[in-house]
Structure 1
Amino acid sequence: MSAAQEGTFTELRSQLQAAAAAFADGPGALEGILLGIVDDVDRAVREPLEIFPVCHHSPASALAMARRLREKQPKVVYLELCEDMAPLLTELRNCRLPVAVQAFATEVEGFPADWSPLSVVAPITEASAEYQAIAYALDTPGVELVLVDRSSDHVFQWDARGAAPSEPSEPSGPDAPADEEAALHGEAVGVEIGDLRPRFAELEEHLLRHGRVRHWSEWWHQYVELPLGDSDHDTYRQVMLLIGSLFRRLAPGDPRRVGVDEDRERYMWTRMREHLAATGTDPADCLYVCGAFHAASRVAEFGVDGADGFEIGPRTATRWQHGLIPSSHAAIEAQFGLAAGSVSIASTVWAKNVRRTRVEPFRLAGQAGTKKRAKAAKAGPAATDTAEPASDRLSGFLRRPPVLDRLDEAELLDWSVEIVRAARRNGYLASTADAIAVFETSILLAGMRDRAKPTPYDFQDAAVTCIEKDTVPGRRDVRRLVEIMMGGDRIGQVGYDALPPLARDVHDRLAPLGLKLQQRGVQRALLDIASRPELEKCSDLLWMLRYLMPQGAARPIMGERRLGERPIQESWDLALGTHQRALIELGYEGVSIEQVLEQRLRRTAYSPRATTAVVLEAVEDATLHLRSRRLADELGTRALEVLATERSVDGAPEVLRRVRGLLAYYRTGQPVLPPWVESFVKTGYAHYCTLLPTAFTDEDATVRQVAAMLGFLFSMEGLALSLGCDRRQLELAVAASHPEEPAKVALLWAARTQLGSLSRAELRARCDELLGNPLVVPAYPRYLSGFLQALEPVPALADFVVEAVSNAFARLPDAVLLPWLPTLIGTLRSGGAEQAPLLIREAGRIFPGRLGALDSWVPPWRVEPDPRAEPAALPGGAGRGVPLLAAHPVTCDAVAELLGCDGGWETTDPGPRGAVLVHAHPGTAAALQALLAPP
């Protein structure tokens, strides 16, 4: 080491040593920290491979980067970014910034299953140093860009979920991003160059208090961005290295987090040395761009001459997909705990710095959303020889008093006028006087905070104080209006050419709609399929997108999709541009939307937590959206397997509803039932017969669930018996059921009535007995609830339920009726809302339609039956069908011929015609009466 190198920071060391002795009354820990910071800066400055420290989304870093790249013109740029993201960087020219490079994995191997899906994002804005480096390397011939940070797989391998404290974040409330754009990154893990923030909470609190600022973003803007905006390269490097070393040495000693930071630094230096050795590149022709926190590293592997003992572990078997997703200023702020509006303000400061300094920034050729730049002039040789360290610039910078930037009255006046105009548009009663007040208050706040010129944050506080008062009349408050005025929440967009194949296919297939689907916002699509049959394919795709994408991406306004129906006209609200990230992530799962939907359905059906109802829903979705008989049969077989292993009846109502729908669809649209449907009915019949006695007595099984079981058994009974099931199994199950809860008791009575073991007269007598017992009357509403649920398996009892409710209102006095009337109404609403329409329709059929007819109306259950019309000698109540058979002799003759009966009509008998046949076949007569009875 030369004498000049030894004395580079001698003066600074002497000053800090004297300061440490004065403040700490002698040498000690403070002196060690201060002198250690100087050693870190000195070590980084002397490194032959030039280290360029940056802070994420810092205009000063971006400006210094653009200036340095034009001076040095490095041949190799090493960038602190996940090394597996390199192939995606060339697609940035097809996007409008800000966007984020994403690594995504849905099927994980080597990680806990509950972590899936895994997602890593690295957002990139134009006002960032990393974008300047990327644009320079990709558009300059002969320059190589090498990403050296750990891979996305290693990000999760080294992840300390639940073990390390979370990053400090800005205060929530008024400073937090309020738009849904803050969720553009989803649950992804953020990776960014230059996470430069104190990890020592007391240090950050001290800086904010003495800096008279509210949050870290404002402190950085005031005390780092502005002073470094006009500094030279050496001063910028040394100051950023100083800050990085300070925050590093004062960080809490969490061994887990420190270990991850140091492993990242070892990883990056190992990769750089490997590249230098493989290519033979001179380190003087390279530039290493990394966060200032990592630039002041003290690991043994630091530098081109560092140790080589670090071994990079292998990646897991997880298959990673890479792509670009849209980002926004609000999303970046939410991801990395920045104050709301800070990235927008940084973007505005970047534009002002470019105009003021006339530094020509780098932009990718053809970059969307940027102006076409002129060809850059050929830069001369590097201004500083990296082989010779720069002199001490820190001493002069630290002793230099703050530059008092004079007040730009025109700019501040323009801000004040614009915010008043924006406030008026959003419902505030703002006037010219408020503009003057905002102007003066901004100057006052800046003076109170020792600033000669108000910053955007001072202006924001002044606007809130003078305009907002205590109410917010519109959707946006004044703080948000200032953010919009300062540049707004710029939202990026991924271009068509940079989309994955699936997303491009979706746009191509929806092209007949004639909409600009990449634009943000909601667009209305009208599909007249009857006149334009080619739009039916668009309809099929939209229904699949509605199933796969978040709510609001594709929302049907008119039209629905049901089994067995074809669309005629539909209307949709589409917001695919707003939900571009979700569409891109679908492209990571497959090459077509049908493939992704099939994978999702299989994943749902074969999940360990899948129930029979969930699998049947997947069968229905496969039939509706994919029209795939193959997949439906496969998932139906899976539903049969799950049903055989279930030991609870929680999903019985949903199983009944979906089986009925599928059975009706196959009966009307298919020549024969699929084998899995027949097996499902057989298995379900035996399965629910077995569980029925236990469900009646189980307190966890609700009345609705037991009613659904009975509904399955009764509605599927004909098909089940034709497939070989035994009806005695159901009769034995009902006979073995002994419930105690009143609603289940009423449900059991209804089931016995359906099976014929309990007559209507006996059921009516039991209800009369309940009403006559004062001890049971308070529980009568619960019996009615059971009867109402019984309408699911036994809909023929609708007239009896009307009779039971009417008898209660007719017989009970007000003193008894009124106390349990609220209970009755609440029970009927909570437990029988689905069956209420059937009950109301039956009541409308029974009761008179006019008020005047009510006085002479006699309830049908009080009408005495005609003994001549219903002979009591017939078994099983078959005599009730005699008048009906006499009125339709042709029908009776046809049934007799079908059954092979040779008996004729006896006209000499005083009874009605056909009585002999009825006596001979009472069961047939009863079945025919039930078939022809009005609903």
Structure 2
Amino acid sequence: MTFDSLREQLLGAAEALGGGPATLPEILAGIVDDVDHALREPLEIFPVCHHSPASALAMLRRLRDKQPKVVYLELCEDLQPLLTELRNCKLPVALQAFASELEGFPKESAPLSVIAPVTEASAEYQAISYALETPGVSLVLVDRSTDHVFQFLGEGAAAETPDGEDDLHGDAVGVEIGDLRPRFAELEEHLLHHGRVRHWSEWWDQYVEQPLAGADHDTYRQVMTMVGSLFRRLAPHDARYARDEDRERHMWTRIRAHLAATGADPADCLYVCGAFHAASRLPEVGSAPGTPNFAITPRTATTWLYGLIPSSHSAIEAQFGLAPGSVSIAATTWQKNLKKQRLKPFRLDGQKGGRLPLPVAAGGPVADHLSGYLAGPPALDGLDEEELRGWCVDIVRLARRNGYLASTADAIAVFETSVLLAGMRGRARPTPYDFQDAAVTCIEKDRVPGRRDVRRLCEILLGGDRVGQVGYDALPPLARDVYDRLAPLGLNLEQRSIQRALLDLTARPELAPCSQLLWMLRYLLPDQAVRPIMGSRRLGEKHFQESWDLDLGRHQRAVIELGYEGVTVEQVLEQRLRRDAWDPKATAATALEAVENSMLFLQSPRLTDELGARAVELLAAERTVDEAPDVLRRIRRLLGHYRSTTPVLPSWCERFVTVGYAHYCTLLPTAFVEEESGVRQVGAMLGFLFGMESLALSLGCDRTQLEIAVRQSHPETPAKLALLWAARHQLGDLSLAELRALVDDLLGNPLVVPAVPQYVSGFVQALEPVPRLAPFVVETLSKAFGRLPDPVLLPWLPTLITTLQSQAAELVPVLTREAGRTFPATLAGMEGWTPPWLARRAPGASGRAGRAPSGSGLAGQGATGSEVAGPESSGSWTAGRGPSGADAAPGAVGGPVGVFLAAHPESTEAVAGLLGCSGEWVTAPAVPDDDRPGPAALLAAFPETADAVFSMIGS
């Protein structure tokens, strides 16, 4: 047999190892058997690796030699109609299948997407170009359809979706020919360690790509099949392995069906597949008649949409876990070998380049090229000084442009270090990876002065991140419609750079449709694709000049995927709004946002009414008040717009107000008590109830419902209690004087003082439902700042600021304007200024007053109740003053009680210290016993006590 000699050599080597694994002879012999089995197949199997220049070169040479009549390609069979559209594209691009409405798959997994990238330096593109441009040649895709991809993946779909994909591909599942990589970490780590490389891409380039770049067809085919057999036999037999076997059964079943239907001769066919699949020994593999078929399940009812999207080298690297820059290096290697071997690749007519005439096919028996390849030394190229010197000069030039202080000495150092590294790693010729390491070592040094480090500059130098583009003719109808409707702007929208569009809608009213389309695209596309610089779109606004930054060239994928959702942008926008409003997690605020967007972008009263009815339905079904602030803000804006533009409110608005009034009245007592309901949410509920009260009452609501809800509310937290007081004040149950008395009692109670900031925060939130309380809130804040001790005041101030910023930003201007009306505008005006709440004190009113607590920074004095002590209040302590106290000195101490307290002042002074009062003892002159008032005179002077006793006993 052809490989008997190689089999004997490998078995002899296995025996010589002695202490090796017991399965080693079986593995080595099995590899030879796999190669022999693949070469005996009448239908030629061509093993490839994805984005491999060696595979592309071997494919190019084989197509010219064999000239097959049928090419079977490992690619999703339902992507075949897209292949002809590659003529209108600039590579790299990706074939895509997309589905947003699923049937037969879990709804929560939508949308589903599959992409298959295509680059020029790939065997699949060479096969596609040959088949499409050569008359009489059939191209048949035989891999599972997109629907079957997700059927096979099942719940393990996430396992094959790589982490951190480039946004050109998004979260699509990548499908590509020849995913050739060790399936377990130990083997890969072993190969990297002994190969003296950092990652798999560098190992593959060094030990497979470079040796096979110029190999003949038989050598290439045998070596690739051997590598695929090795990785296959060492791969763990897990779920992925089982899916790969099912794929092989599927593909061979399709091949046999096509051969039977067309009567094609297997000798005139070529099967292009990954090297892993080329070494398959399954019973269902083969083109011989009678080979058992695989039962292919029917597709689901899911409707798949197909198209082409831009791709890039970096996106492919991220999608398939390749080293950064590896695809760019592969493209450079491809171009270099084309020039070296004087080959002209196959290209589609719509792209640059052409085809060479096909030579006559060369046939002959297959010999054992594998033994000589494995036994002989590697044919490594010598040092190409001119190429390496050019790299070193160019990287220094590029580094200087990016802020590095590089010089000719650095270029020499990079050259010598590249040679040194290649020698240390056993290479006769420095590879691009050696050059990268040398450049980083010699140029980057201790810092990166700009956005790009030296490794990134090397990637740019060695090929750069080439980005593809889908041509106009290959775009879906929606994308072409977008470009056509934006044509009046006079910009090249396919250009991959930001372009500024200036719209003067007064001088050029024909640009108004462009403005409308741009605002819709702003809503549908990523933020950077369409960005307004000047102008906005809000209810009631109309701008006559707009300025836009457009970057549709770099976001072409997003525009294309809009075409999978509809024929026009308006249709997609309407579908999005409906989807948002009818989403299972939608809230009333979400539906109101959809209503507002429909009014801004579509001007469709029918759709707006439908979305408004949905908002009413969602509001009535809500059991929490988390979205109350958003609901209040949006319905206020909508009502204001309707009142200014239409004679009557829409019916859904009226129903929203009446339903919301009843709904929030029902939830109010519970919201006041629940810890989950914040002060902001309760304040928004009260804002809806009081703000919409007049409209709700005119529509038939009952105010008694609100009064009952407020009376049933019994909050326990200080902030919500302040909100309740404000609500009672709005309903007329609590006067402003009583509110002041409550606040003064809080400030005068040492036990409650630490909680006063929470009360104040509640009063600030009360400006939402009761805006006329603004003067009172300013007064309360002033009293709090003046009377609270520093240990309470200072920690509260940052909390107050952050709370106002995050939860009540719109209330800050209200407070600022009211403070501006209350306080003097200049520093000089502060002298002799009396706050309005002190000036309101009735003439002749009296009250007990004490000084402000020490450390509060307030020069005035506090008061209890609704009275405020004036400047005439004494700072001395008095005792025993009766009706005849007018003859005594103010603040004098008299009477037996006063004399006793003056003799033992410790207790009194301690109580005065707790209350924050200070003073000195003054003794009053003695009063004769005959002049002292009797009990009747005391009762006449102080009748309140007697009246209280009489009322208790009913006299």
Fold match by TM threshold 0.5: yes
Which of 428, 431, 447 aligns to 1:455? It is: 431
List aligned pairs for 1:368-447, cutoff 5 A. 370=352, 372-373=353-354, 376-380=356-360, 382-385=361-364, 389-447=365-423
The answer on whether the counterparts of 1:80 and 1:149 sit within 8 Å (CA) in structure 2 is: yes
CA distance in 2, matches of 1:130, 1:580: 24
The answer on whether the counterparts of 2:161 and 2:173 sit within 8 Å (CA) in structure 1 is: no
Which of 492, 498, 513 aligns to 1:516? It is: 492
Which of 630, 638, 646 aligns to 2:622? It is: 646
**Gaps in structure 1 of 5+ consecutive residues:** 1-6, 170-176, 868-935
CA distance in 2, matches of 1:363, 1:137: 11
Matched, 1:526 2:506: no
Aligned counterpart, 2:226: 242
The answer on whether the counterparts of 2:59 and 2:127 sit within 8 Å (CA) in structure 1 is: yes
Aligned counterpart, 1:469: 445
Aligned counterpart, 2:943: none
Q: Which segment drifts farther, 289-298 or 19-28?
A: 19-28
CA distance in 1, matches of 2:200, 2:778: 70
Q: State the TM-score, normalized to the length of structure 1.
A: 0.88
CA distance in 1, matches of 2:463, 2:268: 38
Which of 559, 574, 587 aligns to 2:535? It is: 559
Shift of 1:779: 1.1
Which of 190, 193, 214 aligns to 1:230? It is: 214
The answer on whether the counterparts of 1:168 and 1:199 sit within 8 Å (CA) in structure 2 is: no
Kindly tell me: are residues 776 and 149 of structure 1, through their superposed partners in 2, closer, same or farther at Cα, counting changes over 3 Å? same
Which of 5, 16, 26 aligns to 1:22? It is: 16
CA distance in 1, matches of 2:297, 2:470: 33
CA distance in 2, matches of 1:327, 1:826: 45
Shift of 1:376: 2.3
Aligned counterpart, 2:313: 329
Residue identity in the other structure for 2:710: V
Shift of 1:115: 1.5
Q: Across the two proteins, how many residue pairs are aligned to each other? A: 842
Matched, 1:251 2:235: yes
Aligned counterpart, 1:188: 172
CA distance in 1, matches of 2:476, 2:162: 35
The answer on whether the counterparts of 2:160 and 2:173 sit within 8 Å (CA) in structure 1 is: no
Matched, 1:57 2:73: no
Aligned counterpart, 2:198: 214
The answer on whether the counterparts of 2:94 and 2:308 sit within 8 Å (CA) in structure 1 is: yes
CA distance in 2, matches of 1:203, 1:155: 28
The answer on whether the counterparts of 1:781 and 1:827 sit within 8 Å (CA) in structure 2 is: no
The answer on whether the counterparts of 1:785 and 1:832 sit within 8 Å (CA) in structure 2 is: no
Higher relative contact order (CA 8 A, sep 6+): 1
Kindly tell me: are residues 698 and 187 of structure 1, through their superposed partners in 2, closer, same or farther at Cα, counting changes over 3 Å? same
Matched, 1:610 2:583: no
**Gaps in structure 2 of 5+ consecutive residues:** 844-955
Which of 704, 710, 716 aligns to 1:740? It is: 716
Residue identity in the other structure for 1:676: W
The answer on whether the counterparts of 1:785 and 1:831 sit within 8 Å (CA) in structure 2 is: no
Shift of 1:430: 0.9
List aligned pairs for 1:730-769, cutoff 5 A. 730-769=706-745
- 3-state secondary structure, aligned to 2:71: strand
Residue identity in the other structure for 1:76: V
Kindly tell me: are residues 830 and 59 of structure 1, through their superposed partners in 2, closer, same or farther at Cα, counting changes over 3 Å? closer
Matched, 1:348 2:362: no
Kindly tell me: are residues 713 and 444 of structure 1, through their superposed partners in 2, closer, same or farther at Cα, counting changes over 3 Å? same
CA shift digits 1:489-522 (9 cap, x unpaired) = 0000000110000000000111111111111121
Aligned counterpart, 2:89: 95
CA distance in 1, matches of 2:803, 2:350: 67
CA shift digits 1:509-551 (9 cap, x unpaired) = 1111111111112111111112211211111111111111112
Residue identity in the other structure for 1:336: F
The answer on whether the counterparts of 1:526 and 1:570 sit within 8 Å (CA) in structure 2 is: yes
The answer on whether the counterparts of 2:249 and 2:293 sit within 8 Å (CA) in structure 1 is: no
- 3-state secondary structure, aligned to 2:166: helix
CA distance in 2, matches of 1:745, 1:791: 14
- 3-state secondary structure, aligned to 1:835: helix
Aligned counterpart, 2:69: 75
The answer on whether the counterparts of 2:525 and 2:559 sit within 8 Å (CA) in structure 1 is: yes
- 3-state secondary structure, aligned to 2:509: coil
Which of 500, 503, 508 aligns to 2:476? It is: 500
Residue identity in the other structure for 1:276: L
CA distance in 1, matches of 2:625, 2:550: 39
Shift of 1:161: 4.3
CA distance in 2, matches of 1:164, 1:794: 52
Aligned counterpart, 2:147: 153
Shift of 1:404: 3.7
- 3-state secondary structure, aligned to 2:590: helix
- 3-state secondary structure, aligned to 1:183: coil
List aligned pairs for 1:673-822, cutoff 5 A. 673-812=649-788, 817-818=793-794, 820-822=796-798
CA distance in 2, matches of 1:207, 1:290: 24
Which of 309, 318, 323 aligns to 1:339? It is: 323
Residue identity in the other structure for 1:790: A
Matched, 1:594 2:574: no
The answer on whether the counterparts of 1:121 and 1:185 sit within 8 Å (CA) in structure 2 is: yes
Shift of 1:812: 4.7
Aligned counterpart, 1:286: 269
Residue identity in the other structure for 2:645: G
CA distance in 2, matches of 1:611, 1:360: 61
The answer on whether the counterparts of 1:167 and 1:337 sit within 8 Å (CA) in structure 2 is: no
Shift of 1:24: 3.5
Residue identity in the other structure for 2:296: I
The answer on whether the counterparts of 1:556 and 1:572 sit within 8 Å (CA) in structure 2 is: yes
Shift of 1:819: 6.1
CA distance in 1, matches of 2:667, 2:439: 69
Residue identity in the other structure for 1:67: R
CA distance in 2, matches of 1:781, 1:830: 17
Shift of 1:856: 2.8
CA distance in 2, matches of 1:815, 1:581: 58
- 3-state secondary structure, aligned to 1:570: strand
Shift of 1:183: 2.4
Residue identity in the other structure for 1:433: A
Shift of 1:853: 2.1
Kindly tell me: are residues 752 and 204 of structure 1, through their superposed partners in 2, closer, same or farther at Cα, counting changes over 3 Å? same
Aligned counterpart, 2:278: 295
Q: State the TM-score, normalized to the length of structure 2.
A: 0.86
Larger gyration radius, structure 1 or structure 2: 2
- 3-state secondary structure, aligned to 2:153: coil
- 3-state secondary structure, aligned to 1:277: helix
CA distance in 2, matches of 1:831, 1:97: 50
Shift of 1:821: 4.7
Residue identity in the other structure for 2:634: R
Kindly tell me: are residues 432 and 735 of structure 1, through their superposed partners in 2, closer, same or farther at Cα, counting changes over 3 Å? same
Residue identity in the other structure for 1:532: R
Which of 107, 115, 122 aligns to 2:109? It is: 115
Q: Which segment drifts farther, 677-686 or 201-210?
A: 201-210
Shift of 1:111: 1.2
Shift of 1:25: 5.9
The answer on whether the counterparts of 2:161 and 2:171 sit within 8 Å (CA) in structure 1 is: no
Which of 117, 126, 131 aligns to 1:137? It is: 131
